[in-house]
């Protein structure tokens, strides 16, 4: 069964992504020497002081195509006070190369202007997966169909074949606000990648891993993110439920409620599957209420972490690599390092 068979005509339009905002340049189109006026989202900001004592505001600004460093030498303290992180601003300035990366030097007059909802095109900030959604969903359904455990297969079919509202939300959902797979369709892309890694590892260690249990955990581990994140006026935002409860607890509730609909679902199987969801972040300091205590749980955590880390490296390279050769990224606070960006044309 394919996505279009489940959702019918709805499948054609769910992930349509309006071009929107093409009258204003995108970050990916910026070149050194350009003077630009465009709308961008404030990702980070930091008020700093030069050696001569002059204050300046260092910002990271983004749209759906990438991010650029910006510097305000003229109205630093005022803009730091009046423009919050997450706001959308109209920027005016000149694109230059500084420290081997693009930088936007903001104008002295109206270099940054705070925009209100309705004054900008929301589509400028809604990135979308570059992979084919129908193909990814078909591959995910194939994993469900190939499960040998009837209880686990029934559980996953309740989600991925019978619940159209869940499917609509799942294929549109991002996997994060900004760390990894932070775009529409990102949750589907990440989930499939984790399932593929788990499938490979279950074949590598067949004597140690219950494949059906591991694949089920991989497919279900992040389903709570459909309620943790929403699409707001300036892009991806955490919902109130996401902030107050979090996707691990939300996902556990979703799985538990569906299991109650399946007669005679084995208690030990339910407990182990719940453990996979609860422990997939790997450490309590990383948000898991328990650490992995089964082979399947440890493998799921490692696969989840590996896919997220590779995605972070890839997204930093896509955002910051300027095509001039090897170089280093800005310091990334999520990875706690700079990364070396190789000239992939030379590989």
Q: What are the distances in angstroms from CA 318 to CA 210, 279, 312, 322? A: 37, 31, 10, 9
Asked whether 337 and 346 are in contact (CB, 8 A), the reply is no
Where do you find CATH 1.10.3210 in the chain?
133-313
Where do you find CATH 2.40.50.140 in the chain?
27-121
Q: Each residue of 221-257: pLDDT tens digit?
A: 999 999 999 887 667 888 999 999 999 999 999 999 9
Using DSSP, state whether 200 is helix, strand or coil: helix
- Compute the mean pLDDT over every residue in the chain, rounded to the nearest whole number: 88
CB-based burial label for 254 (10 Å; 0-12, 13-18, 19+):
buried
- pLDDT for 237 equals 84
**May I ask the CATH architecture of the domain 133-313?**
Orthogonal Bundle (1.10)
- pLDDT for 306 equals 96
- pLDDT for 21 equals 43
Using DSSP, state whether 265 is helix, strand or coil: coil
Residues 6+ apart with CB under 8 A from 76: 47, 55, 56, 57
- pLDDT for 202 equals 97
What is the pairing mode between strands 101-106 and 112-114?
unpaired
CATH superfamily of 27-121: Nucleic acid-binding proteins (2.40.50.140)
Query: Which parts of the chain have pLDDT scores under 70?
Result: 1, 8-23, 233-234, 319, 321-326, 343-347
């Amino acid at each position: 069964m394919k996505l279009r068979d489940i959702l019918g005509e709805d499948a054609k339009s769910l992930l349509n992504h309006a071009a929107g905002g093409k009258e204003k340049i995108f970050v990916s189109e910026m070149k050194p020497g350009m003077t630009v006026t465009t709308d961008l989202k404030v990702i980070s900001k930091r008020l700093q002081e030069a050696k001569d004592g002059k204050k300046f505001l260092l910002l990271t600004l983004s749209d759906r195509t990438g991010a650029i460093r910006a510097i305000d030498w003229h109205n630093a303290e005022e803009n730091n006070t009046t423009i919050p992180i997450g706001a959308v601003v109209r920027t005016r300035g000149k694109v230059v190369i500084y420290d081997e990366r693009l930088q936007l030097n903001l104008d002295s007059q109206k270099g940054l202007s705070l925009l209100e909802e309705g004054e900008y095109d929301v589509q400028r900030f809604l990135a979308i997966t570059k992979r084919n959604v129908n193909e990814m969903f078909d591959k995910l359904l194939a994993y469900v169909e190939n499960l040998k455990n009837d209880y686990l297969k029934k559980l996953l079919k309740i989600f991925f074949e019978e619940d159209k509202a869940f499917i609509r939300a799942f294929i549109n959902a991002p996997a994060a606000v900004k760390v990894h797979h932070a775009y529409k369709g990102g949750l589907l892309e990440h989930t499939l990648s984790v399932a593929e890694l788990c499938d490979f590892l279950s074949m590598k260690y067949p004597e140690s891993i219950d494949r059906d249990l591991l694949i089920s955990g991989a497919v279900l581990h992040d389903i709570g993110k459909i309620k943790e994140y929403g699409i707001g006026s300036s892009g991806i935002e955490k919902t109130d439920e996401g902030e107050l409860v979090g996707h691990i607890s939300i996902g556990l509730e979703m799985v538990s409620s569906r299991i109650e609909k399946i007669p005679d679902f084995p208690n030990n199987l339910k407990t182990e599957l719940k453990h996979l969801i609860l422990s997939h972040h790997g450490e309590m300091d990383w948000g898991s209420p328990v650490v992995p205590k089964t082979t399947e749980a440890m493998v799921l955590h490692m696969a989840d972490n590996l896919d997220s880390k590779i995605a972070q490296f890839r997204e930093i390279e896509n955002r910051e690599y300027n095509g001039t050769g090897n170089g280093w990224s800005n310091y990334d606070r999520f990875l706690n390092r700079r990364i070396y960006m190789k000239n992939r044309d030379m590989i």
